[in-house]
Amino acid sequence: MPLDSASIMELRETHYNATVVEIHLIHSELALFRVKRDAGPLTFSPGQYTVLGLGYWEPRLPETQPESLTPELEHKLIKRAYSISCRLLDSQGTLSPTATDELLEFYIALVRRTASTPPALTPRLFALKEGDRLHVGDHVHGHYTVDPIDSDQDVFFLATGTGEAPHNAMAVELLARRHRGRITNVTCVRYRRDLGYLKKHRALETLYPNYRYISLTTREPENLDPQHPDYMGKQYLQELVESGELEREAGAQLDPKSAQVYLCGSPDMIGVPIRTHDPAKRYPVPKGMVEVLEQRGFRVDQPHHPGNIHFEKYW
- pLDDT of 274: 87
Residues 130 and 102 in one domain: yes
Residue 287: CATH number of its domain: 3.40.50.80
Q: What is the pLDDT of residue 46?
A: 98
Q: Which residues of 267-306 are buried (b: 16+ CB within 10 A; e: fewer)?
A: eebbbbeeeeeeeeeebeeebbbbbbbbeeebebbeeeee
Q: Give me the phi and psi of 159, to 5 degrees please.
A: -140, 160
* 14 domain residue, yes or no: yes
Asked whether residue 315 carries a pLDDT value surpassing 50, the answer given is no
* R_g of the chain computed on alpha carbons: 21
Same domain? For 116 and 181 the reply is: no
Query: Residue 129 sits in which domain range?
Result: 5-136
pLDDT band, residue 275 (cuts 50/70/90): confident
How far apart are the C-alpha atoms of 283 and 51, rounded to whole Å?
A: 30
Question: Quick check: is 239 in a domain?
Answer: yes
Do 104 and 204 lie in a common domain? no
Q: Check whether residue 291 and residue 162 sit in a common domain.
A: yes
Per-residue pLDDT, 314: 56
Are residues 72 and 184 both part of a single domain?
no
Domain count, the chain: 2
How confident is the prediction for the chain on average, in pLDDT? 95
Q: Is 144 within a domain?
A: no
Whether 12 and 89 share a structural domain: yes
- Asked whether residue 129 is assigned to any structural domain, the reply reads yes
| Dihedral over alpha carbons 124, 125, 126, 131 (to 10 degrees) | 110
Confidence class of residue 172 from pLDDT cuts 50, 70 and 90? very high
Tell me: do 167 and 61 sit in the same domain: no
How confident is the model over 250-259, as a mean pLDDT?
Answer: 97
Q: Is the dihedral of CA 231, 236, 240, 243 positive or negative?
A: negative
183 and 305 inside one domain: yes
Residues 44 and 113 placed together within one structural domain of the fold: yes
Residue 145 lies in a domain: no
pLDDT confidence bin for 279, thresholds 50/70/90: confident
Section 75-96 average pLDDT: 97
Contact 132, 36 (CB under 8 A): no
* Same domain membership, residue 165 and residue 18: no
Q: What's the CATH code of the domain at 26?
A: 2.40.30.10
133: closest CA among 81, 56, 25, 55? 55
pLDDT in tens, 186-225: 999 999 999 999 999 999 999 999 999 999 999 999 999 9
Please check whether residue 94 lies inside any domain of the structure.
yes
With respect to residue 270, please indicate whether it lies within any of the assigned structural domains: yes
- Does 183 share its domain with 299? yes
Residue 68 lies in a domain: yes
Average pLDDT (39-51) is 97
